[in-house]
DNA sequence: ACCTATCATGGGTGCGCACCCACTAATTTG
DNA sequence: CAAATTAGTGGGTGCGCACCCATGATAGGT
């Protein structure tokens, strides 16, 4: 007893704490996978938003994901242009995106997303998902499901669904 | 439709994502409350561990909470000595801890925890929860439950318990 | 007694994330 | 047409967290 590794039960009794901890673990593992591609969680969210709701004015995209417009600019920049895949494990996967451009080599034209100035209001930039982006999204979703299988390993299918339903309820209500 | 604030359903369909998101919200709100006291989440965890398992050699405490010994030293330092409450809202609460010492004012002797050198092995430092620490822990637990009520607002009591059970199952299995 | 391992601690690093501000270009308002 | 507003962008800041390394003190093994 007193395993020296056992987590304080007064903490695991708090759902807040369990949520925070397991959430962090989930986040960490997912972020780890994405990092192998030189991506972060927001990249996934952006791709998913574009896939689900179609092209967005960049500002609306930021509003939807509740992120600062300034930060969104950077994320879109990484998804559209060079830089995202320069890191460790880029291109290790099925090679969906990450087409080498005509540049000198350190630069990789990602092209997961396309930016186009709105002809009506030339201040605005409309962001559109490309085919490469769609392919990447599929891979990231696969990553997410893999992580999910890891994490929910101890649950039956029924329990998983139940958990998802409960969390969804909590989340949508929290979303306000 | 297309609420412009709606979160991509392909994300909310992923339990990983829900976990990560709600976990982050929970963490954020909790951290916010603790921050008003000049504390962080680890402080709570440390106090809880001491309450649940009694005094610890500092190194064991670090091992239990899976934290770097170096970081644990700093946390224990903050719980024991001055510095923790110097910030914004210290002393706003019921005033359990944070007794002003005999010092000049900017310094606050926290004393939530006591460090004592082990007489047998004088390298080791045994950390013990004080009465003030126990009182603080009670407040932090109350904070946690308040946040919990906020977050789980949309769930019935049955559902809350169910959620807790599921998360606990996931977490303990993940703990490995 | 000497060498090595262990503990606590201080200092520093890097990442992710959330903000914030200033600046430019373009549009809308009066 | 001038003034005010909005979109995108670049740059910078601060926090929390997880690491890692060096150092000084202490123990233990041989």
- Predicted confidence at residue A109, as pLDDT, reads 64
Residue nearest to nucleotide C28 (CA to C1'): A121
Over residues B30-49, the mean pLDDT reads 96
CA B16 to each of CA A5, A146, B155: distance values in angstroms, whole numbers, following the listed order? 25, 9, 20
Find out whether A174 and B7 touch, Cβ atoms under 8 Å. no
DSSP state of A82: S
Residue spans of beta strands (DSSP E) within chain A: 56-57, 113-117, 125-129
How sure is the predictor about B91, in pLDDT bands with cuts at 50, 70 and 90?
Answer: very low
**Could you give the CA distance from residue A116 to residue B27 in angstroms, rounded to a whole number?**
38
For residue A71, say whether its CB is under 7 Å from any atom of strand C: yes
φ, ψ for residue A46, nearest 5 deg = -65, -45
Lowest-pLDDT range of B1-10, B74-83, B138-147: B1-10
CA A125 to each of CA A72, A83, A133, B5, B35: distance values in angstroms, whole numbers, following the listed order? 12, 20, 18, 19, 39
- Predicted confidence at residue B4, as pLDDT, reads 74
Averaged pLDDT score across all residues of chain B: 85
Whether residue B114 is predicted with pLDDT greater than 90 in this model: the reply is yes
Find out whether B140 and B42 touch, Cβ atoms under 8 Å. no
Whether residue B105 is predicted with pLDDT greater than 70 in this model: the reply is no
Find out whether A93 and A136 touch, Cβ atoms under 8 Å. no
Cα three-residue angle B68-B71-B77, rounded to 5 degrees: 140
CA A74 to each of CA A128, B54, B171: distance values in angstroms, whole numbers, following the listed order? 16, 48, 35
- Interface with chain A: mutation pick from B1, B2, B17, highest number of A CBs within 10 Å: B17
Find out whether A115 and A102 touch, Cβ atoms under 8 Å. no
Over residues B73-99, the mean pLDDT reads 57
- Predicted confidence at residue A85, as pLDDT, reads 44
Whether residue B85 is predicted with pLDDT greater than 60 in this model: the reply is no
Over residues B140-163, the mean pLDDT reads 96
Interchain contact B67–A (C-beta under 8 A): no
Residue B104, min C-alpha distance to chain A (Å): 36
Q: pLDDT tens per residue, chain A (176 residues)? A: 567 778 999 999 999 999 999 999 999 999 999 999 999 999 999 999 999 999 999 999 999 999 999 999 999 999 997 544 433 333 333 333 333 333 333 345 679 999 999 999 999 999 999 999 999 999 999 999 999 999 999 999 999 999 999 999 999 988 75
């Amino acid at each position: 007893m007193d395993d020296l590794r056992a987590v304080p039960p007064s903490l695991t009794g708090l759902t807040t704490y369990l949520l925070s901890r397991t959430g962090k673990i989930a986040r960490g593992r997912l972020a780890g996978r994405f990092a192998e591609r030189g991506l972060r969680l927001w990249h996934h969210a952006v791709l998913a938003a574009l896939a689900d709701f179609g092209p967005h004015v960049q500002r609306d995209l930021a509003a939807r994901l509740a992120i600062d417009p300034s930060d969104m600019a950077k994320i879109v920049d990484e998804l559209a242009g060079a830089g995202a895949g320069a890191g460790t494990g880029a291109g290790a996967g099925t090679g969906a995106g990450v087409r080498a451009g005509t540049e000198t080599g350190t630069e990789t034209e990602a092209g997961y997303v396309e930016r186009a100035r709105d002809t009506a209001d030339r201040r605005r930039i409309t962001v559109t998902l490309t085919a490469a982006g769609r392919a990447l999204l599929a891979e990231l979703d696969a990553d997410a499901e893999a992580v999910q299988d890891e994490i929910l390993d101890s649950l039956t299918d029924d329990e998983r669904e139940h958990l998802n339903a409960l969390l969804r309820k909590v989340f949508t209500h929290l979303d306000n």
